[in-house]
Amino acid sequence: MILPREQDPLGAAIKDYYEGKQRAAIKVASDRAVDDVLPAYYLFRGLDEMPDWEKRALDECKGHVLDAGAGAGSHSLVLQSRGYQVTALDVSLQATEVMRMRGIKDVLAGDLFSLPQSSYDTILLMMNGIGLVGDLDGLNSFLIAAKRLLAPGGRILLDSSDLIFIYREAGLPAPDSGEYYGVVTYTMSYAGISGTPFKWLFVDYTRLRRHALAAGYTCELLMEGPHYEYLAALTLVA
């Protein structure tokens, strides 16, 4: 899948920022929190501006890296500067155009599920990139699809968060029926462009590990943060 330009507010903001509109920012509405704003400059961060778990993830990368949901390509640029072979992947044509202009050598437009069989050593999913699977069923589908993209012993590096804090801060128990509480529906807009609402998964580590083991991966917790965020590595069992 490739996003049409008229449905791609994120890509439009990325391109505008790259072309000099320093105040470009995406409006983000969700069904779990108040509306928010994502400044486009945040997608252009250098290594020094990245949080510790992103720096650790970049240090953990090996071999040929697939940077999935690469956005403006900031993580790919760091890895490329270190001599890694990196393929930057995004569903936004405008984002891929910007990544090429920024000097990323290997850029693909599309999604993980449409890629042909490959042998990547690392699949990198940063900024809660695993969220692109949508929900827990999507997570299972992704873990199966990733097997044909990874080399033997290849790894998936991802960060996510446990949204249980939303309920704990409100003094409420997490819902125990219906859709998993970590599934959020977002709608983005920018400069008159409105995207289609989409589901985004925030998965707690216990569930991630359970799904990973069932799909034939090992699962390692690499880092934990003070606000329920974490970095994990899933390794394909040979």
pLDDT at residue 168 is higher than 80: no
Percentage of the chain exceeding pLDDT 70: 97
138 vs 146: CA distance, rounded Å: 12
**Predicted TM-score (pTM) of this structure:** 0.95
Look at residue 167 in the predicted model and tell me its pLDDT.
77
Least confident range from 9-23, 131-145, 161-175: namely 161-175
Look at residue 32 in the predicted model and tell me its pLDDT.
80
12 vs 24: CA distance, rounded Å: 9
Look at residue 33 in the predicted model and tell me its pLDDT.
79
The mean pLDDT value of the chain amounts to 94
Structural domains in the chain, sorted by start: 5-236 (3.40.50.150)
166 vs 33: CA distance, rounded Å: 9
Look at residue 170 in the predicted model and tell me its pLDDT.
67
Least confident range from 86-95, 126-135, 173-182: namely 173-182
- 122 C-beta neighbours (distance < 10 Å), count: 23
Query: Residue 93 — very low, low, confident or very high, per pLDDT cuts 50/70/90?
Result: very high
